[in-house]
Amino acid sequence: MSTLGASLRLARAGWMLAREGVLASLPGDELSGAPKAAWRISKALAARRAARKGRTERLADAVGKLGPSYVKLGQFLATRPDVVGKNMARDLAGLQDRMATFPRAAAVASVEASLGRPVEELFERFGEPVAAASIAQVHEAFVTSGNVPGRVAVKIIRPGVRQRFQHDLESYFLAARLQERFIPSSRRLKPVQVTETLAQTTRMEMDLRLEAAALSELAENTKDDPGFRVPAVDWERTGRDVLTLEWIDGIKMSDIEGLAAAGHDLKELAATLIQSFLRHMLRDGFFHADMHPGNLFVEADGTIAAVDLGITGRLGKKERRYLAEILYGFIVRDYRRVAEVHFEAGYVPMKHDVAAFAQAIRAIGEPIHGQSAETISMARLLTLLFEVTELFDMQTRPELLLLQKTMVVVEGVARTLDPAFNMWKASEPVVGGWIRDNLGPKALLVDARDGANALLALARQAPDLAARAERLSREIDAMVVNGLRFDAETARAIGKAGARHTRWGRLALWVIAIALVAIAWKVG
């Protein structure tokens, strides 16, 4: 029954998001066919509900009821007023600060179960919750021992949140499979692989020991960086469901009026945020991948302190080089080089023409240059980018999804601080410096050293590789002589599995279709 349950949850989510205006706020003028019809229905629903009072609270409540993964989606959209509109972004911003808390008694039970000690022995004082998010909530506490004495923040996983996320993911996998099966043009976007990436990051986010390790690593990487830091971890009071951190005294980056009243330079904060993220991405290949305003604080001296490091991203050296060259090419308007890097990285199939792709890239890049941020329609820009990637058969790269999502969110946060923020101008010092250090003569020496080490490692493995190759050759020879066979029982099992998949897939489609009919009937 899991497929039927996932179908019902998916239909319910679509209905609630359409009713509260979330779907209507997304750019849909360029859609066609069934997606265009669904978008128009959602606009009609939203218009009917718009006259009622308390839309902000109603929207936050509706998204919160859908589950923690939908809250994450709402937080992402809240950082893009240029895509969903200022009113919708303001409404969704409530998801960052106004999530419901769970009782202190449940938090105490979770702490004691995870750490194996009474809460009175662990903390001098353990207070009520002071903040709540989709996955966990934070309590203020005090300790007198350990590496972080004094006031601390204790993050505790919500009871039952793992099961809720698993249910959400079942719905996402169903939608992804249906999309791949019935919408061939979407297969290049690899929706199933994208959902698998989401599932993996979610599993890691649910283990607070991994978040503690990420905080420790990022702290080491950024110890000498100007204007950015992360809180210290109290390892003695950290477990799978509990994370104890240094308390951060600062103003949330979502509180624009508070930042201005405290005398902070908002334009400088925007630039520092972008440049810090680019340093982490390019220099370290390790970055905070959930940098919405609710996770960023500004301390009295203007330092940005980032918390909630449950989702992180990593990039290999080769990927960092490609991305740096692409970013720098956009900055200096060298669209030919941007196109060439896309081909070198394998992002665009070699059957296409580099010059034609460079022309398409120019159509994306030129509207950005020479304009203030307020005049750029990000929705139209995203639509154009999607059309270009489809025209040139560009496949989605699941390993780059977190980076792409985080770049969009960070730029959105910077724009809330400085509406005239220029992403390319702010990026140039970091990206240009990295290019000079890593793609010049110095980089050739490093590459030569890495190549020599790789050859040495390969030479050490040569006997084992030779033995494996010999075994594989014998197995292939045997397969050629005897053929590849499986017994009758295996054949029957494959047939039953295929029939069951087809039956549930059809049932899921009927459930979704009935939900859409219900939506249309309510609108009428």
Active site positions, annotated? 290
- 400 touches 319 (CB < 8 A): yes
Please give the C-alpha separations between residue 31 and each of 10, 178, 265, 386, in angstroms, as whole numbers. 21, 19, 41, 12
Cα–chain center distance at 475: 43
Structure tokens at 239: 């477990």
259-262: long-range contacts (C-beta < 8 A, 24 or more apart)?
Answer: 259/298, 259/417, 262/298, 262/300
- Answer positive or negative: Cα dihedral of 432, 363, 337, 400: positive
| Bridge partners (DSSP) listed for residue 243 | 155
A 10 A CB-CB count for 445 gives 10
Q: How far does CA 102 lie from the centroid of its chain?
A: 26
CB atoms within 10 A of CB 59: 23
DSSP characters over 347-383: SS-TTS-HHHHHHHHHHHHTTTTTS-GGG--HHHHHH
For strands 296-298 and 251-252, give the pairing.
Answer: antiparallel
Q: Tell me the C-alpha distance between 187 and 176, whole Å.
A: 10
396: left (phi over 0), alpha (psi -120 to 50) or beta: beta
Q: How far is CA 23 from CA 18, 77, 88, 204, 330, in A?
A: 5, 11, 10, 29, 31
Handedness of CA 149, 151, 153, 156 (dihedral sign): positive
Q: Would you give the DSSP letter of residue 315?
A: -
